[in-house]
Structure 1
Amino acid sequence: MEQLAQQGKIKEKVYGKQKIYFADQAQFPCISDPELKNLDSQITELSSKVQAVQQNCKQMETELKDLNSAMTTDDMVKEIEALKEECANHTEKLKKIKSATNHVTPAEKEKVYSERKQYCKEWRKRKRMATDLFDAILEGYPKSKKQFFEEVGVETDEDCKVTIPDV
């Protein structure tokens, strides 16, 4: 640095023990205001071009990412074939179900529903009778209802998390 300063290519300033070196601006040509304005407009123009190119690059990168994540033609053909085969299997299964001769007749269906209704009615009736009986016993029983059920070995519908279905 000292050598460049001696040759006059850079300037040197000494502040105590410190030395500061800087470019000699006298060796650079002076530029007029119109030339500076021209350079500023060129910088602005080039900056806008850079921004447009960067935005275009981002769009292309996004498009490339989408294309890379999409299925290839070969994969798509394989997927279509697999789906066609699956569809054919389901169609065959549907034909078998439709051609089956063991369908439930409306009379059989009605019979099953009426039996279910009868059994649910009987269930309610028996539950009510058992509850009345337990309540009568518990009137003179010194312990709690829960303790009585444990001693006798009674499991309630609630203990088994069962509810009587609505008919």
Structure 2
Amino acid sequence: MEPTAETVLNYLKEQNRPYSVTDIFNNLHKAIGKTVLQRDLDSLVGSGEVVGKTYGKQRIYYVSQEGEIVPPEEDVAAIDREIEALREEIASKAQHVKELRTQLDTLKSNMSLDHCRREIERFTELNKKLKSKIEIMEPREGFEIDRAELASLTRRRDILSKELKKRKKICEDALSIVLENCPLNKTELADEIGLEVEPS
């Protein structure tokens, strides 16, 4: 086999797709003249290593697929099953992403991250004030307290604590959804928007 013919054959094997003479000539950067290239292609077609077909006024060439090893049917079936499983997994993940986007849109419409931050700060401050009041009213020697008021403050503190936890959960859920498509980690994103979160 001529060196130029070997170059052409190797190129067609690497690309594994049909080309016209002009395509091959240009893709090989005109390293082989068109006359020699045509001669090599005719030779390769004659040897059965390359197939040449005419479509209209154009003739294309591609590597012959004859002689290739055909995998057993059970292997093909296994690959088909794997492909189908991957398709189902992709569809499932796509649906999950769609649901997350819907949740994110809902959270955005109901409560922004900035609003979450302000609410958490407000409830945290209220909680601190209530704790201070309760500490002041704790029984001490020679000090009488209003039990009803203490009980009321304690209940209010518990309610606010629960609400604070609820708001924090909403905010962290929103953060988790945003983090799906965000290059920052949870702590970095929280710092970026000025939000305090529990350490992971």
Shorter-chain TM-score: what band? 0.3 to 0.5
Higher Rg = 1
Q: Greater RCO between the two (CA within 8 Å, min separation 6)?
A: 2
- TM score, norm. by length of structure 2: 0.32
